C-alpha cells in the first residue's frame, strides 16, 4: 500500500491454523500405528475462564484423533491450608503416574498463586510429562540431549518457522518473556539451531534497542500492543505468542501495524495458538509410541 507517498510493504502472514491442520492430519496416520488408545489427563485447579477454553480445545482435538482425554477438576476451599492443597494435588498426580491407562499428564497453567507451580509440576513422571516441564525434561533440553519431551509451544514455533523455509542458522533471535513454558525453553531450542539468542524480561533496560536488532523476534509477554512498529527491524520475522482478551476479542502482544515493517508475522488468533495444540497431541502420541516400543 502507498500512503502519503510512502510505500508500505506488508509482512507475509504465517498461517498457524493451516500448519496445525496439516500437522494433525499427519498425526492421524501416526495414531493409526498405535496399538492402544492413548489417554491424556489434564488437571485444572479453580475456575479460570481462559483455561476452560484452552482445555475444551484440547479435548476437541483429542476427540478428533481418537485419544481419550480425562479432565480432573480441583476446586479448593479458601480455608484449607496450602500444604493440604499441595498434598492433595501431589496425591492425584502420583495416582495418575501409576495408572497404566494414562499415557500423558498435564497441569493446566497458571495455577492459583498460593500453589508452588514448580513443586507440583515436578511430581509428574518425566515419562508422562507431556508439557516437558519437569526438571528432567528441562535439563535434557538445556543439554541438547535427545529423548526428552519438549514443551509444545516452543517446539511448534521452531517447526512453524522452518516449514516456511526461514533459515535459523546464525540469526539474531530476541525473545521477550522468560517463562518456563515459552521464553526459557524456546531460547534453548534456538541455541540448538545455532542462533544467537537474547532473552528480555521486565528488568531489561532499553528493550527497543534489543528488539530492533532481531532478525527473529518472539514476543511472549501477555500485554496487548506491547511491541510497536518502531521496535522492529524492517524485514524481521515476528512471532506473536500473546493471547489477550480485549473487549471480547482475542489479540496478541504485537501491534497490527508491525505488519508494515516486518517481513513475516504470525497472526493472533490463528498463529501460535492452534500450533501449540497440535504439538501437544504429537507429544501424547510420541509418549504412547515410546511406551509400546520400549524406547
Task: Provide the binding-site residues for ligand NAP, judged by CB under 6 A.
Answer: 153, 176-179, 181-183, 200-204, 207, 220-222, 241-244, 272-273, 276
CB of 96 to ligand NAP, least distance (A): 22
**Contacting residues for 100 by C-beta, under 8 A, at least 6 apart:** none
Cα separation, 161 vs 106, whole angstroms: 26
Please pick, among 23, 129, 131, 184, the residue that the annotation labels catalytic: 131
Provide the terminal-to-terminal Cα distance of the chain, rounded to the nearest Å. Answer: 54
Closer residue to ligand NAP in complex, CB, 158/243: 243
CB of 162 to ligand NAP, least distance (A): 18
Cα distance between residue 264 and residue 262, in whole Å: 6
Kindly tell me which of 102 and 231 has the beta carbon lying closer to ligand NAP: 231
223 is catalytic: no
Give the orientation angle of helix 135-142 with respect to helix 183-192, to 10 degrees. Answer: 30
Of 46 and 222, which CB lies nearer to ligand NAP in the complex structure?
222
Minimum distance between the CB of residue 194 and ligand NAP, rounded to whole angstroms?
24
CB of 241 to ligand NAP, least distance (A): 4
Give the DSSP per-residue string, 242-261.
--EEETTEEE-SB-GGGGGT
Q: How far apart are CA 64 and CA 131, in angstroms?
A: 20
- Active-site residue, 257 included: no
**Whole-Å CA distances, 216 to 9, 25, 164, 208, 226:** 18, 28, 13, 14, 16
- Which residues have C-beta within 8 Å of that of residue 82, sequence separation ≥ 6? 114, 115
Minimum CB–partner distance for residue 20 and ligand NAP (Å): 10
- Nearer to ligand NAP by Cβ, of 220 and 236: the residue is 220
- Catalytic residue, chosen from 108, 171, 184, 286, is 108
Which is closer to ligand NAP, CB of 83 or CB of 202? 202
Residue 283's nearest CA partner among 175, 179, 154, 163 is 154
Return the beta strands (E) in 38-191 as ranges. 39-45, 68-74, 104-107, 172-176
Is 162 one of the annotated active-site residues of the chain?
no
- Residues whose CB is less than 8 angstroms from the CB of residue 79 and which lie 6 or more positions away in sequence, other chains included: none
C-beta of 104 vs 218, nearer to ligand NAP: 218
Least Å distance between CB 152 and ligand NAP?
8
Q: Please give the positions annotated as active site.
A: 58, 108, 131
Amino acid at each position: 500500500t502507498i500512503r502519503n507517498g510512502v510505500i508500505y510493504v506488508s509482512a507475509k502472514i504465517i498461517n498457524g491454523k493451516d500448519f496445525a491442520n496439516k500437522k494433525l492430519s499427519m498425526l492421524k496416520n501416526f495414531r493409526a500405528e498405535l496399538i492402544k488408545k492413548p489417554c491424556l489427563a489434564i488437571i485444572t485447579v479453580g475456575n479460570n475462564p481462559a483455561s476452560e477454553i484452552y482445555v475444551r480445545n484440547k479435548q476437541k482435538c483429542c476427540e478428533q484423533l481418537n485419544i481419550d482425554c480425562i479432565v480432573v477438576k480441583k476446586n479448593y476451599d479458601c480455608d484449607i491450608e496450602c500444604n493440604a492443597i499441595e498434598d492433595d494435588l501431589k496425591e492425584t498426580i502420583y495416582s495418575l503416574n501409576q495408572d497404566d491407562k494414562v499415557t500423558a499428564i498435564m497441569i493446566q497453567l497458571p495455577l492459583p498463586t498460593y500453589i508452588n507451580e514448580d513443586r507440583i509440576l515436578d511430581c509428574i513422571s518425566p515419562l508422562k510429562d507431556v508439557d516437558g516441564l519437569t526438571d528432567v525434561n528441562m535439563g535434557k533440553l538445556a543439554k541438547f540431549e535427545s529423548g526428552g519431551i519438549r514443551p509444545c509451544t516452543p517446539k511448534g514455533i521452531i517447526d512453524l518457522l522452518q516449514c516456511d523455509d526461514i533459515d535459523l542458522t546464525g540469526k539474531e533471535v530476541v525473545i521477550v518473556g522468560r517463562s518456563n513454558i515459552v521464553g526459557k525453553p524456546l531460547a534453548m531450542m534456538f541455541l540448538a539451531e545455532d542462533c544467537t539468542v537474547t532473552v528480555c524480561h521486565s528488568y531489561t533496560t532499553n528493550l527497543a534497542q534489543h528488539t530492533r536488532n532481531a532478525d527473529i523476534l518472539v514476543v511472549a509477554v501477555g500485554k496487548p500492543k506491547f511491541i510497536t512498529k518502531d521496535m522492529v527491524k524492517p524485514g524481521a520475522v515476528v512471532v506473536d505468542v500473546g493471547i489477550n482478551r480485549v473487549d471480547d476479542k482475542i489479540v496478541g502482544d504485537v501491534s497490527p501495524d508491525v505488519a508494515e515493517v516486518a517481513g513475516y508475522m504470525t497472526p493472533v488468533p490463528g498463529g501460535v495458538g492452534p500450533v501449540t495444540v497440535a504439538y501437544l497431541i504429537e507429544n501424547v502420541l510420541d509418549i504412547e509410541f515410546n511406551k509400546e516400543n520400549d524406547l
